[in-house]
Chain A
Amino acid sequence: EAGVAQSPRYKIIEKRQSVAFWCNPISGHATLYWYQQILGQGPKLLIQFQNNGVVDDSQLPKDRFSAERLKGVDSTLKIQPAKLEDSAVYLCASRFGPGTNEKLFFGSGTQLSVL
C-alpha cells in the first residue's frame, strides 16, 4: 500500500517569500490533516479536511497561510509571506476511518527553513 506522499522534502527560503507544500494522501482516505511541528514540540494542527471541505482551521494563521484540497484528493498548503517563526516541519496525514480499525498515516514531512 502506498503511503502519504509529500513534497518537497526540504525547502529553504528567505523571509517574506512564498512557499507551497503538496500532499497526496492514501487513496480512499477522506480525512486529511496538515500539522506544523516546530523542533522539539508536538505537532500543531493547522487544518483538517473531510473530502474537499474544511472541518477545522481554527489554528491556521489565515493572514499568511492558506490550504486547499481540490476534488477531495491532493492538498496544498501555502505560506505567503513567510516569517522566521514558520521554520518547522509540515506534516500531512490522512485517515480512512471512522471505526475501531481507523489509523492515521503520516507523510515524511516537508522541512522548511526560513532565513
Chain B
Amino acid sequence: AQSVAQPEDQVNVAEGNPLTVKCTYSVSGNPYLFWYVQYPNRGLQFLLKYITGDNLVKGSYGFEAEFNKSQTSFHLKKPSALVSDSALYFCAVRAPRTGKLIFGQGTTLQVKP
C-alpha cells in the first residue's frame, strides 16, 4: 500500500546549523517524491520534487533532498538553517501509474536564534 512516514513530529535546530527532516515512503513502481512547506495560516508551498535523475535534488530557499532508493527515503536538508525556516514541512509521494498523491503527517521545524 502507498504510504509516507515522517518519524519526527518536531525538529529543533539552532540558526546556522545544518538541518534534516526525515521521510520514508512506500509505493509501487518508481516514486514521484515531493516536499511542501506550510507557514501558519498559509497554504501549502512547493519546495522541491524528485522524479528521475540525480539523487540530490535542489529546491527553493536553499533546501535540498536526497533520494535513497534502497532505504526508500527522501530526507530534506539545508546546510545552514534560518529562523525564517521555522514552519510545518510535509513529504508527499505520488504513485506514477495512478497519480494518487498522499502526504505524511508533517514535521514542525523550529529554528532558534
Give me the interface of A with B, judged by CB distance under 8 Å: 31, 33, 35, 40-45, 48, 50, 55-56, 91, 95, 97-98, 100, 102-104, 106-109
Instruction: Tell me whether A48 and B103 are in contact in the complex, defined as CB-CB below 8 angstroms, given that A107-B43, A108-B43 are known contacts.
Output: no
**Which residues on the A side are within 8 Å of B102 (C-beta)?**
45
Contact A104 B105 (CB under 8 A): no
Contact A48 B100 (CB under 8 A): yes
Q: Is B51 in contact with chain A by the CB < 8 A criterion?
A: yes
Interface centre among B6, B52, B103 (most CB of A within 10 A): B103
Give me the interface of B with A, judged by CB distance under 8 Å: 4, 6, 32, 34, 43-44, 46, 49, 51-52, 90, 96, 98-106
Bound CA span A45–B95, Å: 13
A42-B106, A55-B99 known, 20 other contacts, Cβ within 8 Å: A35-B103, A40-B106, A41-B106, A42-B4, A42-B90, A42-B105, A43-B90, A44-B103, A48-B100, A50-B99, A55-B98, A55-B100, A56-B98, A97-B99, A98-B99, A103-B46, A103-B49, A104-B34, A106-B43, A109-B43
Instruction: Tell me whether A91 and B100 are in contact in the complex, defined as CB-CB below 8 angstroms, given that A41-B105, A43-B90 are known contacts.
Output: no
Closest to B104 in A: A42
Contact B101 A104 (CB under 8 A): yes
Bound CA span A79–B2, Å: 26
**Which residues on the A side are within 8 Å of B98 (C-beta)?**
48, 55-56
Contact A56 B100 (CB under 8 A): yes
Q: Can you identify 18 A-B contacts, CB atoms within 8 angstroms? A: A33-B101, A42-B6, A42-B90, A42-B103, A42-B106, A43-B90, A55-B98, A56-B98, A56-B100, A91-B44, A95-B99, A97-B99, A100-B51, A102-B51, A103-B49, A104-B34, A107-B43, A108-B43
Partner of B100, one of A40, A45, A108, A109: A45
Contact B103 A43 (CB under 8 A): yes
**Which residues on the B side are within 8 Å of A97 (C-beta)?**
99
Closest to B108 in A: A40
Measured CB to CB, the closest approach of chain B to A69, in angstroms, equals: 14
**Which residues on the A side are within 8 Å of B4 (C-beta)?**
42
